[in-house]
Amino acid sequence: MPSTTFLFWNVNRKPLSPVVAELADEHRADIVVLAEAGDDPATLLQDLNAKETGGFHFPIGLSSYVTIYTRFSRDFLRPVFESDRVSIRRLTLPARSELLIAAVHLPSKLRWSSASQSFECGELARQISLEEDRAGHRRTVVLGDFNMNPFEFGLIAAGGLNAVMSRKIAARSSRKIQGREYRFLYNPMWSHLGDARSDTAGSYFYDSSEHVNYFWNVFDQVLMRPELAERFDMARLKIVKSVGTRSLVRHDGRPDRRDSSDHLPLVFDLDF
């Protein structure tokens, strides 16, 4: 079964088009999703298509926080729902099963309370379910900057995104509470919390003087329905720390926010 490679990066409104292009080329990305893009689409397309893999298109969308580039024809990636921070699209490739892609950049903790973030996840979950019902399938992937960790209420609550850390639990498809059914998502990003792999213990670092401070966060995530999770290869999911000879992190493993972005890129493959 052919695989499709996704690249997501919140570039923090930095002019990082050449770095994005090198990342896409190095990882052979088929779909590039950016949050807070710092370059105009024409510049990004020029840099993407100057690379060996090339062949990128820019399917125009209405979201001001999320932009998408793809090596597939724009006719194969059509929007079905868009808002300022969410773009849900159908990917329909010849001789392949259709895929629903929800790209998001949810509001920051600097402006929204945890309660508001959680309620927004509930709204997102309902919209995704609506588009699945319209499409007639649940082959759905959700990716982006959630501005929440995998363990926060918006991600784990049944009335939120209902995203669990276990494929076996997600394989139950849904759970019922007070007679209401909630569809599961699988969240593989739990395995990227902490320093088991390296000093880079997440995708975003924030140091504050508050009593409760996680320091490292995994705000940049990919979630998927069990229909996709059963074939998902964890070894192909990476928080990227370098591209070519360029490091995206400092000597202490934290994102190099001065020369790159305060977030690190996410790369993964999907078989469908």
Residue 53 is predicted with a pLDDT of 86
How far apart are alpha carbons 232 and 139 in whole angstroms?
A: 12
CATH level 2 (architecture), domain 3-271: 4-Layer Sandwich (3.60)
Contacts of 7 (CB under 8 A, 6+ apart): 20, 23, 24, 27, 29, 31, 32, 33, 265, 266, 267
Q: Residue 1: is its pLDDT beyond 90?
A: no
How far apart are alpha carbons 85 and 66 in whole angstroms?
A: 6
In this prediction, residue 88 has a pLDDT band, given cuts at 50, 70 and 90, of very high
Instruction: Give the H or E element holding residue 186.
Output: strand 185-186
Domain ranges across the chain: 3-271
Q: What is the 3-state secondary structure (H, E, C) of 97-109?
A: CCEEEEEEECCCC
The residue whose two tokens read 């893999």 is 53
Residue among 17, 91, 29 nearest 55 (CA): 29
Residue 31 is predicted with a pLDDT of 99
How far apart are alpha carbons 75 and 93 in whole angstroms?
A: 9
How far apart are alpha carbons 25 and 48 in whole angstroms?
A: 8
Q: What is the pLDDT of residues 22-74, one digit of tens each?
A: 999 999 999 999 999 999 999 999 999 999 888 999 999 999 999 999 999 99
pLDDT, mean of residues 103-124? 98
Average pLDDT over the chain reads 97
How far apart are alpha carbons 129 and 146 in whole angstroms?
A: 18
Find out whether 78 and 69 touch, Cβ atoms under 8 Å.
no
pLDDT, mean of residues 101-126? 98
Kindly list the distances between the CA atom of residue 4 and the CA atoms of 45, 64, 126, 232, 272, in Å, as whole numbers in the listed order.
19, 25, 26, 11, 8
